[in-house]
Amino acid sequence: MLKGFKNFILKGNVVDMAVGVVIGVAFGSVVTAMVKDLITPLIGVFGGTPDFSAFYFTIHGSKFMIGEFINSLISFLTISAVIYFTVVVPMNKIAKKMEEGKSVDPTEKTCPECLSLIPIKAKRCKYCTAVIDKKI
């Protein structure tokens, strides 16, 4: 039984997933701090105090504290926007370049004959041996 557990834990995908979770938590704390310490004060500059924790309404003597919900919603939307514009958009641009066969690395160029990536200073393609024009 313990041998099976050991094999399960030592599989590559479990270890990779654990590393991904740890990195995700660390990245999440960085993004949360950036939103809390940089983005939220910017919202305060344009819209007043960005703290809604004291907001509430009362129905038949019951107090509904909606301020914390509003704070959490604004925080979620802000964190989502920061992640989208700082991670998703740049990664999508890189993925699109890679799909089109364009070099993401500025030290490479595309061979006009076989469309392989070769060093930018190459005069001949290492894959198809085509002579490369300097204009590329």
CB 66 within 8 A of CB 57: yes
DSSP string, 24-82: HHHHHHHHHHHIIIIIHHHHHHHHS----TT--EEETTEEE--HHHHHHHHHHHHHHHH
Q: Could you tell me the pTM of the whole model?
A: 0.50
Q: What is the pLDDT of residues 78-134, one digit of tens each?
A: 878 888 888 889 988 888 877 776 656 678 888 888 988 888 888 999 899 999 876
According to the model, what pLDDT value does residue 103 have?
A: 59
Higher pLDDT, 60 or 9: 60
- Please state, as a whole number, how many other Cβ atoms lie within 10 Å of the Cβ of residue 125: 19
SS3 of residue 97 by DSSP? helix
Q: What is the mean pLDDT of residues 59-67?
A: 90
According to the model, what pLDDT value does residue 105 have?
A: 64
Going along the chain from its start, the domains and CATH numbers come out as: 2-100 (1.10.1200.120), 103-136 (no CATH)
Does the pLDDT of residue 6 top 70, yes or no?
A: yes
Q: What is the pLDDT of residues 12-51, one digit of tens each?
A: 677 778 778 888 888 888 877 877 788 777 877 877 766 7
For 51, 55, 61, the CA distances from 58, given in Å and listed in that order, are: 20, 11, 6
According to the model, what pLDDT value does residue 60 have?
A: 92
